[in-house]
Structure 1
Amino acid sequence: MRPTEYMRACCDSPWDWWQPPFHVAPHVYYVSGNRWVGAYLFDTGDGLLLLDTAMQPTLHLLVYSICTLGFDPKDIRAILLSHAHYDHCGGARFLQGLAPQARIYLGERDLFFLEESHQSLIYPDRYPFTPFAVDEVYREDTPIVQGRFSIHTFSTPGHTPGCTSFYFEDTDEATGRVYRCAMHGGLGLNTLSDGFLRHTGLPVSLRGEYRRSMERLRALPVDIALGSHPENTSMLERLKQYGDRDYPQCDPALWAEMADSFLAQLDALEQQSAFKA
């Protein structure tokens, strides 16, 4: 299925896509409530932090996941959005209503998606979308610090102009081991196709920005690679194979392999494109 078809399936029958929450890193949990798109809860020791929100019609499963883990969604202090697509930001406004103190972060170059004339870029399709206000934009020289976490952000345009990626460390107090973790904010090349660029008027130069930022991030040392969509890093396959113990997502080779795979897909897209650099 195409990405929009997956999104519709999740929104139309969310329980068919139910994914129980699971441990990703010492203090990080997968909580989106569905198998297709990821959202992550950080137990900072000083309130909660949420990375992405999934879609508005599946929000009840995200809230249920958080509660199942023993946390209170009202304790969310910050909502970090990887980019302004419906499957990542669709639940933002309602979550902020549930946790009014939570500040919403978004990449500055995606702010125009929230303007009334450009909201179609968020892909609300036939589903409800409640606009939200952005409190902060990311700055690469200013990590987001909350409790035990210091989260570094990287501008990684391509999938959207303001797509943002995340890098942080998480310590297992029982063993003393420090895990270096990262999530690329948006790997999909569907928004860089000739047809999509013609339809939206977004610049072809986003392809070059995607390549440069991916090459930059590839060099990061990463022990645990989170997927903005779990399939990006085979998260659910690894969970099934290894179980929910000892951080089954830990694989220091996976991050570079993921980057190489998507760079190869970008090569193929550009070779077939009518747009030439």
Structure 2
Amino acid sequence: MRGCCDRPWEWAIRPFRVTPHVYYVSGNTWVGCYLFDTGDGLILLDTAMQPSLYMLLSSIDALGYHPKDIKTILLSHAHYDHCGGAKGMQELTGAKTYLGERDLEFMEHPELIYPDRYPYNRFNVDELYRDDKPIQQGRFTIHTLSTPGHTPGCTSFFFEDTDERTNRTYRCAMHGGVGLNTLADDYFITTGQPVTLRREYRESMIKCSRYQVDIAIGSHPNQTNMLEHLKKNSGCEYPQYDQDAWMKMIRFRLSQLTGIESESKLEF
């Protein structure tokens, strides 16, 4: 994150299509932001960092869209590299902003958001996710799933997207946060967050494993090898199509969690 904020030109990437109507628009290769063309305004999933906001706006412009058409901002969790640009995007768009309820605590404790030495402005949370209430806008119905672990309010997203030319529908998903850096002993000791988040992380991953996914989107592109797919499958219309990527990510992260648990000196 620091590298991307301090030397953004080293991390720059042009926007690219992920699903028939969803585009990668963060403008950098560190963290993902996604623009949904719903046919009834736009949805933005995550906002990256405040210092990289210009890269996000440039990507949106390069695709021929306008920020003022963004009606909804979905935040996967309250860490700086996902919500650092939220205030700026709210001011530009007036969009309704969603966050997981258990991450509201982070709003009162910015140190948990990790702004580090970078500018951070508190943003407004207009709506809280509910697993039993999908977000509907235009052609999209986005089902959210509370997946605590990386943060208590971490939220994952599941939706279908249809290519009207072929009438083929793709099952798509983004896990809200699979990083295990916040499940290490040092993190719990320093922040006072409950070590039970490890158990919740495992339970969340098991829930996610029950979904069949055609296109796995990464909250960070490396989590589902998005850039490798983009290069390897450059001749394909949807390079991210890989029915194994979702489960590979889940299995890998669960194996990492087992390693952390085996070395931990903390008890639930």
Q: TM-score normalised to the size of structure 2?
A: 0.99
Structure 2 CA distance for aligned equivalents of residues 232 and 252 of structure 1: 15
Structure 1 CA distance for aligned equivalents of residues 239 and 137 of structure 2: 25
Structure 2 CA distance for aligned equivalents of residues 172 and 185 of structure 1: 25
Aligned to 1:63, what secondary structure does the other structure show?
Answer: helix
What corresponds to 1:98 in structure 2?
92
Identity %: 64
Shift of the alpha carbon at 1:245? 3.8
Aligned to 1:35, what secondary structure does the other structure show?
Answer: coil
The answer on 1:161 being equivalent to 2:152 is yes
- Matches of residues 109-128 of structure 1 in structure 2 within 5 Å? 109-115=102-108, 118-128=109-119
Task: Give the residue type in structure 2 aligned to 1:61.
Answer: M
C-alpha contact (below 8 Å) 2:195/2:267 kept by paired residues: no
Task: Give the residue type in structure 2 aligned to 1:74.
Answer: K
Cα deviation digits, residues 25-63 of structure 1 (max 9, x gap) = 000000001001000000000000000000000000000
The answer on 1:67 being equivalent to 2:58 is no
Structure 2 CA distance for aligned equivalents of residues 245 and 173 of structure 1: 17
1:27 to 17, 21, 28: 21
- Matches of residues 146-225 of structure 1 in structure 2 within 5 Å? 146-225=137-216
Structure 1 spans left out of the alignment, 5+ residues: 1-6
Shift of the alpha carbon at 1:15? 1.4
What corresponds to 2:128 in structure 1?
137
Q: How many residues align?
A: 268
Cα deviation digits, residues 81-130 of structure 1 (max 9, x gap) = 00000000000010011111x10100000001111xx1111101100001
What corresponds to 1:43 in structure 2?
37
The answer on 1:78 being equivalent to 2:72 is yes
Q: Structure 1 130/244 Cα, relative in aligned 2: closer, same or farther at 3 Å?
A: farther
Aligned to 2:237, what secondary structure does the other structure show?
Answer: coil
Q: TM-score normalised to the size of structure 1?
A: 0.96
Task: Give the residue type in structure 1 aligned to 2:243.
Answer: P
Shift of the alpha carbon at 1:263? 0.4
Structure 2 CA distance for aligned equivalents of residues 222 and 132 of structure 1: 32
Structure 2 CA distance for aligned equivalents of residues 9 and 208 of structure 1: 32
Structure 1 CA distance for aligned equivalents of residues 217 and 110 of structure 2: 27
Shift of the alpha carbon at 1:219? 1.2
- Matches of residues 224-243 of structure 1 in structure 2 within 5 Å? 224-243=215-234
Task: Give the residue type in structure 1 aligned to 2:54.
Answer: H
C-alpha contact (below 8 Å) 1:22/1:244 kept by paired residues: no
Shift of the alpha carbon at 1:185? 0.2
What corresponds to 1:247 in structure 2?
238
Structure 2 CA distance for aligned equivalents of residues 227 and 77 of structure 1: 22
- Aligned residues: CA RMSD: 0.8
C-alpha contact (below 8 Å) 1:47/1:76 kept by paired residues: yes
Aligned to 1:250, what secondary structure does the other structure show?
Answer: coil
Structure 1 CA distance for aligned equivalents of residues 250 and 224 of structure 2: 10
Structure 2 spans left out of the alignment, 5+ residues: none
Structure 2 CA distance for aligned equivalents of residues 98 and 38 of structure 1: 20
